[in-house]
């Protein structure tokens, strides 16, 4: 067994040397680099194979660091940070110049900031002391990793240190809320913090701006996609859909346990017990679909509302082509 304390020390050392460190968060694993170093960011973008104009989220170990990165932090942004951090919420705020590299923000006047809720992440970020730019630790356009093994499979030798904190407890990425404009609070990506929770904190429903690619570059329609073709079906259409595709195709199903699965000739990838469980296993099941060489994965999405919104969003993107 490795000693987690010395692993964090090694990881901090790697960050200081402009290296790349994969670390667990409650949402998905991140691929971290010193946000103040353009060299480290250049390497991060090249390993991710990410277009240079896609900004990354800057992770910090304490809420107080928001003011080091941001200027003009609105009351709503502060309220959201106070209520949700550490947690699966990213705030887009006006950035202070000269703190994080221009590469981290895709040249924008804003920066995305988050305090993740995972003990190993917090230990790393607090020991490092300043912002760590971290996109999800997968190659661009692929499914986000929710275990250290996923990171190893995707990035292998391209990462200097991988901190293993076990499987992620939330399983879908953070909710991104744009508070850079005092006039309107806009949700750019649905995720681990529900829309109801945001509405309760700010006192009204936020504007949904999750469709456009411009708002949060990287939330492309076709994203989070396994190689297997994703077919989104309603429970009552499942049997018909399977019958229509059954000839010579290797089929799989992902649906909540209470959805009737009295179908044959199909690999039931998993039957999550509830919607939180569905979010937790979603990306791992997408990977299973490829490992098993499935041609088609039928996905019966969970009901809308709560974290079901984030699951439905990721399923829809995985199914887009
Ligand atoms: O849960 C998460 O947010 C994970 C973990 C590792 O923290 N990170 C993550 O990062 O999902 P990534 O790079 O895969 O997605 C970040 C998203 C991108 O769609 C990016 O466009 C958006 O955040 N983003 C970052 N900074 C932004 C900014 N200043 N303005 C608009 N969108 C921004
Ligand atoms: Mg990502």
Atom of ligand 1 nearest to the CA of 217: 21
pLDDT at 176 over 60: yes
Local confidence band at 2 (pLDDT 50, 70, 90 cut-offs): low
Mean pLDDT, rounded, for 21-46: 97
Count of CA atoms in the C-beta half-sphere (13 A) of 67? 4
Residues 6+ apart with CB under 8 A from 291: none
**Which pLDDT belongs to residue 262?**
60
**Which pLDDT belongs to residue 67?**
96
Predicted TM-score (pTM) of the model is 0.95
Atom of ligand 1 nearest to the CA of 219: 19
Are 192 and 87 spatial neighbours (Cβ–Cβ below 8 Å)?
Answer: yes
- Ligand 1 centre to CA of 286 (Å) is 21
Q: Which of 21, 49, 56 best tests ligand 1's pocket when mutated (most atoms within 8 Å of CB)?
A: 56
pLDDT at 3 over 60: no
**Which pLDDT belongs to residue 314?**
95
* Residue 40 per-residue DSSP state: H
Local confidence band at 156 (pLDDT 50, 70, 90 cut-offs): very high
pLDDT at 258 over 90: no
Atom of ligand 1 nearest to the CA of 59: 7
- Ligand 1 centre to CA of 299 (Å) is 25
- Ligand 1 centre to CA of 188 (Å) is 10
Are 111 and 92 spatial neighbours (Cβ–Cβ below 8 Å)?
Answer: yes
Average model confidence (pLDDT) across the chain: 91
pLDDT tens per residue across span 200-240:
999 999 999 987 544 555 555 556 788 899 999 998 898 88
Whole-angstrom Cα distance, residue 159 to residue 156? 6
Tokens 């006047």 belong to residue: 109
**Which pLDDT belongs to residue 214?**
46
78-82, 103-107, 157-161, range with the lowest pLDDT? 103-107
Are 62 and 126 spatial neighbours (Cβ–Cβ below 8 Å)?
Answer: yes
Q: Which of 302, 303, 297 is nearest to 319 (CA)?
A: 297
Give the binding-site residues of ligand 1, using a 6 Å CB cut-off. Answer: 25, 27-28, 30, 54-57, 88, 90, 92, 105, 108, 110-112, 114, 116, 134-136, 173-174, 176, 188, 216-219
**Which pLDDT belongs to residue 178?**
98
**Which pLDDT belongs to residue 148?**
98
pLDDT at 260 over 60: no
pLDDT at 248 over 90: no
């Amino acid at each position: 067994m490795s000693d987690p304390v010395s692993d964090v020390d090694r990881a901090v050392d790697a960050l200081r040397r402009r290296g790349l460190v994969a670390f667990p968060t409650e949402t998905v694993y991140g691929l971290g680099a010193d946000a103040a170093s353009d060299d480290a960011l250049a390497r991060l973008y090249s390993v991710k194979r990410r277009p240079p104009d896609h900004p990354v989220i800057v992770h910090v170990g304490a809420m107080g660091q928001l003011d080091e990165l941001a200027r003009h932090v609105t009351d709503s942004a502060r309220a959201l940070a106070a209520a949700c951090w550490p947690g699966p919420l990213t705030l887009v705020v006006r950035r202070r110049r000269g703190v994080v590299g221009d590469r981290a923000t895709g040249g924008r006047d804003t920066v995305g900031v988050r305090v993740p809720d995972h003990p190993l992440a917090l230990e790393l970020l607090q020991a490092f002391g300043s912002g760590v730019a971290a996109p999800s630790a997968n190659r661009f356009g692929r499914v986000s990793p929710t275990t250290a093994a996923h990171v190893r499979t995707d990035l292998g030798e391209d990462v200097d240190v991988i901190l293993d904190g076990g499987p992620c407890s939330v399983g879908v990425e953070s909710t991104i809320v744009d508070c850079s404009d005092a006039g309107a609070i806009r949700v750019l990506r649905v995720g681990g913090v529900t829309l109801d929770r945001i509405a309760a904190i700010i006192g009204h429903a936020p504007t949904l701006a999750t469709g456009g690619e411009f708002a949060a570059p990287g939330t492309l329609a076709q994203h989070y996609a396994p190689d297997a073709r994703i077919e989104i079906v309603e429970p009552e259409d499942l049997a018909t859909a399977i019958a229509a595709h059954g000839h010579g195709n290797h089929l799989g199903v992902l649906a909540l346990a209470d959805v009737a699965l009295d179908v044959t000739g199909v690999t039931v990838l998993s039957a999550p017990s509830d919607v939180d469980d569905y979010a937790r296993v979603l990306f791992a099941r997408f990977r299973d679909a490829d490992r098993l060489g499935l041609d088609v994965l039928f996905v019966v999405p969970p009901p809308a509302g709560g974290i079901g919104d984030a699951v439905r969003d990721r399923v829809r993107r995985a199914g887009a082509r």
